[in-house]
Amino acid sequence: MANGPYLRVRVLGAAAGGGFPQWNCACACCTLARAGDPRASPRTQDAIAASADGERWVLLNASPDVLRQIAASAFLWPRAPRHSPVVALALCNGDVDHVAGLLSLRERQPLTLAATGSVLSGLFERNVLLRTLQRFPGQLTRVPLSLGHATTIAGLSITAHGVAGRPPIHLRGVVAPRPEDNVALEIAAHGRRVLYAPAVASLDGLPSLDAPDVLLFDGTFWSSDELVAQGLAEARAEDMGHLPVQSSLGALAAARARRKVYVHVNNTNPILVAGSRERLAVEAAGCAVAFDGMELDA
């Protein structure tokens, strides 16, 4: 890392919805993790923390595990009787595994929430529970993100890029799908750039994967038929809005990013197991599999 100010990036949770192990799953990976096998470290549900100064942090996605993630991260602990270094959140989409943590961040703490208009309306016009974050003026300041336009929050430049995906399951049939339902977030500060894309259904329309200092990419499934082959579900990866690692690995191998990391990894994905054939293929392509607590400062 060069001298001078830098962009702090930490993985709070590396697993997809359900976490790892998942409470109701005894697939091969979950069984290893539950047994305490050192090859299969447990992981909480998808979220990243970023900061331009180490004092004010922005959470990228509000994981259902956010309280455990804060408890495990000293840099997110309060520094006064009523205080939090967490000043804002930015959302990639309205999926439950990316928004449920909002309900755990009440306790009269002022926060800024940045997301696209369709994600904000899905949250606040379709959901009375989130009124708990509107108990007093200034509790939650909503910042709409327009696709392709940078917004500065706590010294971080945040840009949402629309990527192929699916609207949240709970909104299907309720609202019409829109291009801003699912975004990759580009975070920049001090001339460093991070691209965080935990849900990508297709490489078409993606912003360039070249030259961000850190690329965090959808690692939900290894193969299209992962859940089908294991008898766990009937949907293919692409039907669930996730390009399998097998289909993105070539593009990531060719990308000129300094660190290339798969995030949002589903508990069924064999890349979670150190030394597996699939993990070795990821590592041979110059990529890594995220784990909770991973430091990716740029």
- For 253, the 3-state DSSP assignment is helix
Q: State both tokens at 28.
A: 């091969």
| Helical packing angle, 245-254 and 277-284, nearest 10° | 20
CB of 297 to Zn ion, least distance (A): 31
Nearer to Zn ion, 257 or 265 (CB): 265
Using CB under 5 A, list all residues that contact Zn ion.
Answer: 22, 25, 27, 30, 267
Q: What is the C-alpha to C-alpha distance for residues 51 and 8, in angstroms, rounded to an integer?
A: 5
Nearer to Zn ion, 81 or 231 (CB): 231
Q: State both tokens at 88.
A: 């804002």
Burial of 190 (0-12, 13-18, 19+ CB in 10 A): middle
CB of 232 to Zn ion, least distance (A): 8
Nearer to Zn ion, 218 or 226 (CB): 226
Q: What is the C-alpha to C-alpha distance for residues 36 and 277, in angstroms, rounded to an integer?
A: 20
> Across the strands, what pairs with 88?
58, 112
Nearer to Zn ion, 11 or 27 (CB): 27
CB of 93 to Zn ion, least distance (A): 23
CB of 68 to Zn ion, least distance (A): 19
CB of 281 to Zn ion, least distance (A): 20
Nearer to Zn ion, 63 or 267 (CB): 267
Give the distance, in angstroms, between the CA of residue 260 and the centroid of all CA atoms in the same chain: 14
CB of 120 to Zn ion, least distance (A): 32
Q: What is the DSSP string of 11-53?
A: EEE-B-TTTBTTTT--SHHHHHHHTT-TTS--B-BSEEEEESS
- For 283, the 3-state DSSP assignment is helix
Nearer to Zn ion, 28 or 203 (CB): 28
Nearer to Zn ion, 129 or 233 (CB): 233
CB of 29 to Zn ion, least distance (A): 5
The number of residues in the chain equals 298
- Backbone φ and ψ for 217, nearest 5 degrees, come out as -125, 155
Pairing of strands 214-218, 192-197: parallel
* Contacts with 56 (C-beta within 8 Å, 6 or more apart), sequence order: 85, 87, 88, 154, 155
CB of 20 to Zn ion, least distance (A): 7
Q: Give the chain's largest Cα–Cα span.
A: 53
Nearer to Zn ion, 116 or 223 (CB): 223
